[in-house]
Structure 1
Amino acid sequence: MKTLLASTALAAGLYAMAGNAQAAGCGDVSIAEMNWASAGVAAQVDKIILEKGYGCTVTLVTGDTMPTFTSMNEKGQPDVAPELWVNAVRTPLDAAVSEGRLIIAAEILADGAVEGWWIPKFLADAHPDIKTVQDALKHPELFPAPEDASRGAVSNCPSGWNCQVSTANLYRALGAKDKGFDLVDTGSAAGLDGSIAGAFAKKTGWLGYYWAPTAILGKYEMAKLSFGVPHDKADWDACTAVPDCPNPKVNSYPTSQAYTVITKQFSEKAGVALDYVKTRKWGNAMVNSILAWQDANQGTNEDAAKYFLKNNPDVWTTWVSPEAATKVKAAL
């Protein structure tokens, strides 16, 4: 009986300590609110959950891939980068992790960030023979160019984007010009989005580069085409992603990985909140739908985060403790 009472008392004490630790929060936390939509919404979700669920005091700071990584690596600030696309910083990130400065907490995009060439789903349904980019290039008449409807169009990224280089190289590798296609400069992100919106409004074909997670792919159903070959990283790095590569080959886009990266200092002070950061992840379909809502309602990142939390408790409550879930729900 004495042993049972002692065990019960110990368990109660540990439970109380855990409750007090959660109530005490994890102190001051800085989170990078990156300047693209999916990462910005993720930062706002983290802010709400860490503040309301775990008692942390959160400050959001403006972020971008290289500046945020460099600051975390060299200065230990910010504490958290919710969505860091690691392909751009893979080598220095690996060094920072091995040397104990930074920690990869979780892969926030469960199915990775997806890039490729797409066509509208309604066109793919009407032409089930089009499965690959090569199949699409057999039909310039289905993808009329804006300046010359007798030619097909491959819509490219805006100037200065990395995807403009890869799309131009793949256009040449595929011999698309000789197959009746022009490479169309969409001018800007708005121009690229507008070209897709226009194709859906007119129910005409569209072929070109896009990526997920994005609001456009949440709003418009698109089908990603295969390039018919596996991703060749060596050739991608040496040629596909290099401006004006003299002899580009057909290649497939890599699946980009986006991780939540935290500093060692945060891991040491986060307490039970660290479990949330290590667990939280979502898929492209979910993020696409949130971003589509945000775009349609002209919402801020905070608006979109609250929309997600209010409408998808079955998703986010699996990331947190029951106590934290109750507190977050009460705060919404």
Structure 2
Amino acid sequence: MKKLIASALLAAGLLGGLVGSANAACGSVSIAEMNWASAGVAANVDKIILENGYGCSVDLVTGDTLPTFTSMDEKGQPDVAPELWINAVRTPLDKAVSEDRLVIAAPLLSDGGQDGWWIPKFIADAHPDIKTVQDALKHPELFPAPDDPSKAAIYDCPPGWQCQSSLENLYRALDMEKKGFKLVDTGSAAGLDGTIANAFEHKTGWLGYYWSPTAILGKYEMVRLSFGVPHDKAEWDACTSVTNCANPKVNSYPVSEVYTVVTKSFADKAGVAIDYLKTRKWTNDTVNSILAWQTDNQGTNEDTARQFLKTREDVWTKWVSPDVAAKVKAAL
């Protein structure tokens, strides 16, 4: 019996040593907390899971797309960018990956970043024939302009944003002025949000540019319309996205690729923690809903990460092993 107990204790000690070794391998981790909501929440979700589930020591550092990517590529810090919109850095990222400086982990947004033209779901439900932008343009009476109900409205991208050029080119390509639609400048992102809130409050039609993931699309159910054509990247780069393009054509918005990117040095030392980062992903609908909670409750990124972990075990427990999940739950 003494021998059995001794053997059990030895085995437990060895197992504990292996677990401790795996956690120790993770060590210190620096994670970029980007300066927009979805990425900030993702960074805090990672911090909670890596610290409590894998024994890492996590430091959050302020980030933004280009500065963070450049620092990771040139200096090897921070270790992790949880939400990198890689269309903006595609060429240098491919080079950094091929030269073993950076590693692409999971596609954080499994359905990609989405922007385009949207209508309220209550309009789509009441008019099931509206599937495309062209379908919507047949019903100008459903989308009254705020200052002139005899005209229809298309709500523009906030001034100074790159998407303003693409929307205005598509407005001309679709000959929308002749179809009774006028461009409405909302003045800012907050102004654009206000027009959506007003449309839902008064149950009036709304057609305009928006993007996902965002709190607004978590709070108000919207439907993204098709343009009826595939995305033509060459046309997009040469004309659709170029201010005042002379001869714009109808085109679809690209789906933005959004990945978690880590440094090669971190990937090599992180042990089982890197498996988590290569597995972890969520949908736009999931992110929209938690961002809506954050807005309604004035929550911090950490508050929102904890709310997600407490209420969406159906999502995040699939990213980790049962023992890691148990540790994270116990820490919440």
Say yes or no: TM over 0.5.
Answer: yes
Aligned equivalents of 2:39, 2:87: Cα separation in 1? 16
| Alignment partner of 1:284 is 2:284 | yes
| Alignment partner of 1:213 is 2:213 | yes
Aligned equivalents of 1:104, 1:112: Cα separation in 2? 15
Is contact 1:21–1:272 with CA below 8 Å preserved after alignment? no
Q: CA RMSD in A?
A: 1.8
Is contact 2:25–2:269 with CA below 8 Å preserved after alignment? no
Aligned equivalents of 2:47, 2:171: Cα separation in 1? 42
Is contact 2:132–2:226 with CA below 8 Å preserved after alignment? yes
Is contact 1:116–1:211 with CA below 8 Å preserved after alignment? yes
Aligned equivalents of 1:314, 1:24: Cα separation in 2? 28
Is contact 2:176–2:182 with CA below 8 Å preserved after alignment? yes
Please give the secondary structure, in 2, of the residue aligned with 1:152.
strand
Question: Which amino acid in structure 2 is aligned with residue 271 of structure 1?
Answer: G
Could you state the TM-score of these two structures normalised by the residue count of structure 1? Answer: 0.94
Aligned equivalents of 2:282, 2:231: Cα separation in 1? 24
Could you state the TM-score of these two structures normalised by the residue count of structure 2? Answer: 0.94
Question: Which amino acid in structure 1 is aligned with residue 216 of structure 2?
Answer: I
Matches within 5 A, 1:262-273: 262-273=262-273
Q: Runs of 5+ in structure 1 lacking a partner?
A: 1-7
Is contact 2:173–2:249 with CA below 8 Å preserved after alignment? yes
Show CA shifts across 1:225-246 (max 9, x none).
1101110011001111111111
Aligned equivalents of 1:281, 1:108: Cα separation in 2? 4
How many residue pairs align between the two structures? 325
Is contact 1:25–1:54 with CA below 8 Å preserved after alignment? no
Q: Runs of 5+ in structure 2 lacking a partner?
A: 1-7
Name the counterpart of 1:63: 63
Shift in Å at residue 24 of structure 1?
2.5
Over 6 Å off, 4+ runs: 8-14
Question: Which amino acid in structure 2 is aligned with residue 282 of structure 1?
Answer: W
Name the counterpart of 1:318: 318
Question: Which amino acid in structure 2 is aligned with residue 309 of structure 1?
Answer: L
Question: Which amino acid in structure 2 is aligned with residue 154 of structure 1?
Answer: I
Matches within 5 A, 1:293-308: 293-308=293-308
Question: Which amino acid in structure 2 is aligned with residue 75 of structure 1?
Answer: K
Name the counterpart of 2:178: 178
| Alignment partner of 1:145 is 2:151 | no
Please give the secondary structure, in 2, of the residue aligned with 1:60.
strand
Aligned equivalents of 1:127, 1:321: Cα separation in 2? 45
Shift in Å at residue 14 of structure 1?
7.2
Name the counterpart of 1:39: 39
Shift in Å at residue 11 of structure 1?
8.8
Matches within 5 A, 1:1-332: 15-24=15-24, 26-332=26-332
Aligned equivalents of 2:108, 2:165: Cα separation in 1? 27
Specify whether residues 228 and 10 from structure 1 end up closer, same or farther in structure 2 by C-alpha distance, changes over 3 A only: farther
Question: Which amino acid in structure 1 is aligned with residue 302 of structure 2?
Answer: E
Question: Which amino acid in structure 2 is aligned with residue 146 of structure 1?
Answer: P
Is contact 1:151–1:180 with CA below 8 Å preserved after alignment? yes
Name the counterpart of 2:3: none
- Percent identity over paired residues: 74
Show CA shifts across 1:128-181 (max 9, x none).
121111111122221111121111111111112121111111111111111111
Aligned equivalents of 1:146, 1:270: Cα separation in 2? 55
Show CA shifts across 1:78-127 (max 9, x none).
11000101111111100000011000011011111111101111011111
Please give the secondary structure, in 2, of the residue aligned with 1:100.
coil
Is contact 1:85–1:257 with CA below 8 Å preserved after alignment? yes
Which shifted more, 18-27 or 265-274?
A: 18-27
Is contact 1:112–1:255 with CA below 8 Å preserved after alignment? yes
